Structure 1
Amino acid sequence: MSDAEHIDEPDADESLADRVRSHVSENRGGMLYDLAFAVVWVTAVSLLYDFAFSSSPQWVLYMFMLAGIPAYFGFFMSLEMAKSGQ
């Protein structure tokens, strides 16, 4: 999860590409972690659904995908707690 302490107000002469570039450069690590978690979660759920739960209805796949939301927040909150405990 990213820190939202510093919020940039867009300048009048700043283009959309400049704002996107600025945002990505400030949040590069967080965006990379989010993308990695999403790719790993979707891959794991797809493999589970295709092989372990192959005879299950499709709503099981959707429930596994939705479980990724609390899993994401739980993982990163526990990671922050572990880092602050050191």
Structure 2
Amino acid sequence: MHLMAQTPLVKVGIMSQKQIYYSDKYDDEKFEYRHVMLPKDIAKRVPKTHLMSETEWRNLGVQQSQGWIHYMIHQPEPHILLFRRPLPAA
């Protein structure tokens, strides 16, 4: 997907080692997307074998509105969680 190339991952500035970073939302014709960057101490608890349920990512401390789905594991950077949710019908 080429959308990530169009959206900066990290805003310029210093990110706390213990802070969860939430990207701005971006979309295509079907979905709204966002990515969440976890600090190292939390990232160690991310399962490597499956995509997380909403309960699992909330238990890690990720806070966002309902409807977001952890849809992909980005192998080069497993501390970055990729989420999407369907756009509302027009």
TM-score tier after normalising by the smaller chain length: under 0.3
Query: Whose Rg is larger?
Result: 1
Is the strand fraction higher in 1 or 2?
2
**TM-score (normalised: structure 2):** 0.22
Is the helix fraction higher in 1 or 2?
1
**TM-score (normalised: structure 1):** 0.22
